[in-house]
Structure 1
Amino acid sequence: MKFEWYLALRYFKGSRKSSGFLSFIKYMSIAGIAVGSAGLLIALSIVHGFKSTINGKIMDFAPHISISTYTQKPLERADTLFTYLDRYPEIESKQVVIEGQVMIQTKDQVTGTSLKGVDIEKPEFGVGNYITEGEYDLKRDSTGMPGIVLGKQLAQQLQAEIGSVITVYTIEGIPSLVNSPEIKQFRLTGIYETGIDLFDDVFAMVDRNYARQLFKYRDNQADAIEIRLKDDTEILAFHDKLNESIIFPYYNQSIYTVFGNIFAWVELQENMIPLVISGMIIVAAFNLIGAILMMVLERTRDIGVLKTIGSKSKMIRRIFLVEGLMVAGVGLIIGISISLLFYFLQVNYQIIPLSQENYYMAYAPVEPHAIDFVIVTLVTIVLSALASWFPARVAANTDPVKVISFGR
């Protein structure tokens, strides 16, 4: 072991009986770096978890691209457009959708909602991964009644349970004797919950054929064609590509356009929170200046002796620089350990619950990234080295003649 490392380690341990206050300052510096690094790593893991969870729910539930018309009228020749899309290898799956506003009723409650007619065999579009009660089944049951799937909040508003009879009716214009509503009854087979009100409180899903009957659409009419891509990172590029071939009155919207406000909110959280929390590390690093200066004052006579026996200023500077890095290293190890402990507790015991109505999830998600640990470690070490350099320079420039008699 090099002499300066050996001496720095001895100073770091603080074996002198008279160095109690100095040890307290040192421990506070370690605690400051530990809390700062742990706070930043925990904040980063939470915002990454928020982003992944919310983005994942939207990507799972909503189509990556939807094609519809600028007018209020339905798509004509939707079957032809559907076949035309076969030329794009980027598309993983697609479906024709019929959607409109309806009144939906149980024996106890009634409310308005959006009825969505979808492919009967494609639960991957929307709710397949989020069924919490029953199952995704839109087929007819043994009584001949077709199935319907509702969001959890919508089901609660209707006081509906699995097996409840749901009556759906729609009407155009003003009701009259000659303009009666189209009515259809369904059996509630599944309830889904994403945690996002925009999804759970809005949609009722049925077989597209029954939606076509309710809205009086012809076989080749639809409201939209929903597309899912093989690679969701190519959504914007494919959106631009599709714009070049889809002509008026058709137009396509990407998921980033439809849910732009949610994506923007998530990005804001991810960008701003780490900047705010990182101030804790900066403050802790600057506190290290005071701690090392106190160590220099405590070791003033040692510095004089070292210089008298021929030690160079460079070596003395390294001693206190290494001691500052030891303080930072111990604090960093403790901070990383705290963040990993938090990750374990949050994943297994959900120690931080959230309001699902406001945050779209029942507890704070955590997703630590290895790159965050690398960056936080490097930044902490660099800041601590810079903070230790000034007091180390003061120690190196100390006049040995004056310090030997210091305190007499």
Structure 2
Amino acid sequence: MNYELFIAKRIIAAKQYKSSISSPIIKIAIIAISLGIVIMMIAIATGIGLQQKIREKIAGFNGHIQITNFDNNYSEITLESVSTNQEFYPEFKEIDNIDNVQIFATKAGIIRTASDFEGIILKGVSNDYNWRFFEEYMVAGKLPDFSQDVSTDVLISQEISNRLQINLGDQFNVLFVKDDPSKAPWLRVFTAVGIYNTGFQDFDENFVIADIRNIQKMNRWAVDEVGGFEVLISNFDEIEVKSIEVYEQTASTLNTQNVIEKYPAIFEWIGLFDNNIYLIIAIMILVAGINMITALLVLILERTQMVGILKALGASNVSIRKVFLYNAGYLIIRGLFWGNLIGLSILCIQKYTGIITLDPETYYVTNVPVYINIGYIILLNIGTLLLCLLMLIIPSIIISKINPVKSIKFE
């Protein structure tokens, strides 16, 4: 029989335990652990959630990997065409975890209305385009259909709609500069059939999604000439590996660039979230551990006579230390229980209501995104429990300093 656990349970169940001098200190320790786990859960869930949401939005506008001609510059505009007669199109047969390969082309233009004008990037796509990203962020209208004849239907952002007063179903003019600046620009008339809002203002204020055949016609490209290819992968964590594999499967005249290489500043910024998460976890566990050390020392000092009696009966210092560590473990688990309950409640409320908002100009999202994964929650709880118990091993050595003769005569 594990008599150390038996004694620990008796101590926990005793009425004196709940009304003793140590009771307020124990409650403070439990509250500290609960608050610590709540803050750690929120830090991890929102940090990872923000990283994933920003990655998702950048990939939604650019794909995970872009394949273009080496002659193109590194702006958002495709200058040189690429033939669609490639071995990897419409799919990479020798690379797994590739969701889609889709053609695209971009061209700079100016939307002109009766009272205003705005520079935009017209992104041309075809019927192989994966609309899953824009489906999530549609606020009005429908997605354009480019499977039939050349279409003038376009998808615009709510940002452009508000700034230029272009409503659903409105037609508007777009000017495109020709290769020869001395010639009059092209004038194209498009119809807004859908409005999206991703909250990523850098993209929302620029991109208009249209039929790629409009750009092919203006650039005098053949039907098999496009600006490039976008590759969508299943797992973003594999983007570096997949970039190399894609590069190896493309012709020597083509260049591949993933979104991390294309937008290094943004990815360096969101990479700093990991450091913040690690720092918060370290501080919270340290605070919880210190509170538990205080509670343990008070528990030991409060039961000095019991320690003396156990020693007189032949109990070893290790066994007595186990009694108090079991006791401390119970307190830690109580704190973890309430912390998980409160933390998950807060995260679920935010996840399904989006009650806490953010400035999209700074964070690229309109509300705090939440990532909930049972795996990291279990690891966080196990890690907190083990680290707190490890921190309690050294202060529990005070038990070996208690003299049974003096402690029994204490009262």
Is TM more than 0.5 here?
yes
SS in 2 for 1:66: strand
2:170 maps to 1:164: yes
**Offset at residue 5 of structure 1 (A):** 2.8
**Contact 1:138 1:149 (8 Å CA) reproduced:** no
When Rg is computed on C-alpha atoms for both structures, the one with the higher figure is 1
Query: Which residue identity is paired with 1:328?
Result: I
1:392 is matched with which residue: 360, 384, 396? Answer: 396
2:115 maps to 1:108: yes
In structure 1, distance between residues paired with 2:206 and 2:294:
59
Unaligned runs of 5+ in 2: 73-77
For residues 17-45 of structure 1, the C-alpha deviation after alignment (integer angstroms, 9 at most, x for no partner) is 99643111111111111111221122112
**Contact 1:138 1:148 (8 Å CA) reproduced:** no
**Offset at residue 137 of structure 1 (A):** 1.7
**Offset at residue 247 of structure 1 (A):** 4.7
**Offset at residue 398 of structure 1 (A):** 1.3
Match in the other structure for 1:148: 154
CA RMSD of aligned residues (A): 3.1
CA shift in 2, pair 1:242/1:41, >3 Å: closer
SS in 1 for 2:326: helix
CA shift in 2, pair 1:223/1:145, >3 Å: closer
**1:181-200 to 2 correspondences below 5 Å:** 181-200=185-204
**Contact 2:81 2:221 (8 Å CA) reproduced:** no
In structure 1, distance between residues paired with 2:164 and 2:300:
73
Query: Which residue identity is paired with 2:291?
Result: N
Matched residues, number: 403
**Contact 1:67 1:252 (8 Å CA) reproduced:** yes
Of all paired residues, the percent bearing the same amino acid is 26
For residues 46-100 of structure 1, the C-alpha deviation after alignment (integer angstroms, 9 at most, x for no partner) is 222223322233333322322222335844562434x663573145543433322
Match in the other structure for 1:346: 350
Unaligned runs of 5+ in 1: none
In structure 2, distance between residues paired with 1:29 and 1:403:
26
**Contact 2:71 2:80 (8 Å CA) reproduced:** no
CA shift in 2, pair 1:132/1:314, >3 Å: same
For residues 351-373 of structure 1, the C-alpha deviation after alignment (integer angstroms, 9 at most, x for no partner) is 42222332222222222222222
Match in the other structure for 1:16: 16
Deviates more, 1:150-159 or 1:51-60: 51-60
Match in the other structure for 2:37: 37
Match in the other structure for 2:71: 71
2:302 maps to 1:298: yes
CA shift in 2, pair 1:351/1:170, >3 Å: closer
CA shift in 2, pair 1:323/1:203, >3 Å: same
CA shift in 2, pair 1:188/1:332, >3 Å: same
In structure 2, distance between residues paired with 1:276 and 1:18:
32
In structure 2, distance between residues paired with 1:231 and 1:333:
33
2:85 maps to 1:80: yes
In structure 1, distance between residues paired with 2:37 and 2:215:
55
CA shift in 2, pair 1:223/1:86, >3 Å: closer
**1:303-314 to 2 correspondences below 5 Å:** 303-314=307-318
Match in the other structure for 1:26: 26
In structure 2, distance between residues paired with 1:145 and 1:226:
21
Query: Which residue identity is paired with 2:259?
Result: I
Match in the other structure for 2:75: none
In structure 2, distance between residues paired with 1:230 and 1:266:
20
Query: Which residue identity is paired with 1:50?
Result: L
TM-score (norm 2): 0.86
**Offset at residue 112 of structure 1 (A):** 0.9
